[in-house]
Structure 1
């Protein structure tokens, strides 16, 4: 049985209050004589107090073209990724040479050799470590990555597998774009990374005894929703696609998906004591609460994470999992948790956890 031995989250080096980012966006996205009341309202309604960025704010206006932006992504992703993996392995009581699989995911930059390959020598991983770089899953990749670790460890129960997510969302910033989608994105997304260490049934550690096990996972794509969320790839980089219908799709579909998944394991929503939801934004979190009829406070950890660091794309749900594991007493043996995320496709990923 797959057990989560450690979850370690890190943030990009430059922290800013929301109003500082709003002012930067106004300078670079709005005409000089434009009324910025819509921008201010969108940034206030995001319910984000602060965020971290890979670069100082005054650097973003000077980045010229996708090449320069992507070079900044590679440098930042390698640094943050190394910090996240090293921290997670230390918490799990394992060394880099114990790692048998390194799965890397990001949707905010590209690299060949991939970021995971660049980390092997830097971290001291074995030259024969299995690597699996994933691109394109977006915000759902934190949950999907845990699911894929579980798939691997079911076949290789003596292995140690690591998931690394690095998302430098600020580097997708589009100058001179005053579209609602871009203004909302600049209100929500932050930069960070997270690493998860998971152990197979025959490879347990002292640290692993304190983490939940992964019972099962489920993926679900919704037909004719590809246009709702993702990127348009342009000469200036990744231009956000963010349709306002996303919360409605969540309200319409999530409850049925969750109920069907839980039912296959003899469970109902009432049996779930811990909910770990990706912090997509306030409207998405409200839609999750409404669709699943969750009690007040069920997603408080997600809301706090959104307020403190913004939406970290695929790393977001992993930061929330870390915060959930670190807060309050450990759930009783046999307690059930459900980790969920949504992303481009449009899709959901569900991971059933048990303590």
Structure 2
């Protein structure tokens, strides 16, 4: 058994309204470019405010890929360490008890990885197992929890830590007028999240009595062939340039809704039986597609919509943010929850939870 004991989310100190971000990005467009599409996309994103890694004015000239990636490494370690420390405190677990750390990001490159750079800083053991993940995109929060569950399925008494650190704003291409980049500029924010989980009834017995986190029941990963060109990064001298096909909401309608129903049916559940939906807020159209195809009430994905409005899309950290919010006011004991996220591939990650 895998039980979640603590979850944390932390943000950079620079917070701006959507309108403030819209005005600055509109001013960065090349001379002669029409800002009306940018403004329409920002207005339709259903984002009220976002946290950014840097002061807003500094995004007018981000500099080279090397410069921005250096900023990513520096800031991700600071933010990630804070998220880890808060999650450990929330779980009532000491850093030296952690046997595995899974770390994920898709917004910067670091070798040594972010988890290695912060290990001594937060007090992890020198022999801690490490699993850094890159390239799973927004799906990595759910995929990371699934890999934690795989590890904890072994001998009881183990403790694992999941860290997601995403500084999406540092991938911004201010002068790129492609629809994909404009959409990305309207949605993504910055933040880090961490989760602590333990294995075995005995290991969790003392903490479970006060833990508000769920148990992991099952997981499923799925790749959808022929869709790899629709989501990801185009990497070049400029850094990371967003690849975002307009077909993504249609793929969610065509494949993911059926995947969710099949996954739940394997555990004798239907969508109406799920009390807590922890769904990645990829954007309003994706949330609308899931709501409609699964026949969910409007309130089902309210937590995802609130997260999107409050902080934007945090890539892999978003589902952990929503899980933290759900744990703050948990569903009744015995209730089922479902974590859903999507990423490059095109892929989906599902994690069935039980309170």
TM-score by length of 1: 0.97
Per mean C-alpha deviation after superposition, the further-off stretch among 31-40 and 111-120 is 31-40
Superposed counterparts of 1:1-355, under 5 Å: 1-28=1-28, 30-201=29-200, 202-204=202-204, 206-209=206-209, 210=211, 211-327=213-329, 330-355=330-355
Deviations 1:42-84 (A, max 9, x none): 1000010100011111222333211100000001100010000
Output the CA distance in 2 between the equivalents of 1:27 and 1:121.
Answer: 42
Per mean C-alpha deviation after superposition, the further-off stretch among 60-69 and 284-293 is 60-69
Aligned-pair CA distance for 1:334: 1.6
Tell me, yes or no, if the aligned pair for 1:254 and 1:291 is still in contact at 8 Å: no
Output the CA distance in 2 between the equivalents of 1:296 and 1:148.
Answer: 31
Tell me, yes or no, if the aligned pair for 2:338 and 2:352 is still in contact at 8 Å: yes
Structure 2, unpaired ranges of 5+: none
Aligned-pair CA distance for 1:300: 0.5
Output the CA distance in 1 between the equivalents of 2:126 and 2:246.
Answer: 45
Output the CA distance in 2 between the equivalents of 1:207 and 1:300.
Answer: 29
Local SS of the residue matching 2:164? strand
Output the CA distance in 2 between the equivalents of 1:300 and 1:332.
Answer: 18
Aligned-pair CA distance for 1:263: 1.7
Deviations 1:106-132 (A, max 9, x none): 000011111100111111110000000
Output the CA distance in 2 between the equivalents of 1:332 and 1:34.
Answer: 53
Output the CA distance in 2 between the equivalents of 1:256 and 1:31.
Answer: 43
Local SS of the residue matching 1:52? strand
Tell me, yes or no, if the aligned pair for 1:22 and 1:40 is still in contact at 8 Å: yes
Residues 90/205 of structure 1: CA separation in 2 closer, same or farther (3 Å cut)? farther
Deviations 1:214-273 (A, max 9, x none): 000001111100011100001011000011100000011122211211122122222211
Output the CA distance in 2 between the equivalents of 1:156 and 1:282.
Answer: 42
Could you list the structure 1 runs, at least 4 aligned residues long, displaced by more than 3 angstroms after superposition: 205-209
Deviations 1:301-335 (A, max 9, x none): 100100010000000111011111113xx322221
Aligned-pair CA distance for 1:207: 4.2
Tell me, yes or no, if the aligned pair for 2:181 and 2:242 is still in contact at 8 Å: yes
Local SS of the residue matching 2:109? coil
Output the CA distance in 2 between the equivalents of 1:14 and 1:76.
Answer: 13
Aligned-pair CA distance for 1:203: 1.9
Tell me, yes or no, if the aligned pair for 1:6 and 1:207 is still in contact at 8 Å: no
Output the CA distance in 2 between the equivalents of 1:187 and 1:262.
Answer: 33
Output the CA distance in 1 between the equivalents of 2:99 and 2:256.
Answer: 34
Residues 186/205 of structure 1: CA separation in 2 closer, same or farther (3 Å cut)? farther
Output the CA distance in 2 between the equivalents of 1:175 and 1:268.
Answer: 44
Output the CA distance in 1 between the equivalents of 2:62 and 2:43.
Answer: 27
RMSD: 1.1
Aligned-pair CA distance for 1:37: 1.4
TM-score by length of 2: 0.97
Tell me, yes or no, if the aligned pair for 2:51 and 2:311 is still in contact at 8 Å: yes
Deviations 1:186-206 (A, max 9, x none): 000000000010010142164
Tell me, yes or no, if the aligned pair for 2:272 and 2:296 is still in contact at 8 Å: no
Output the CA distance in 2 between the equivalents of 1:98 and 1:10.
Answer: 22
Structure 1, unpaired ranges of 5+: none
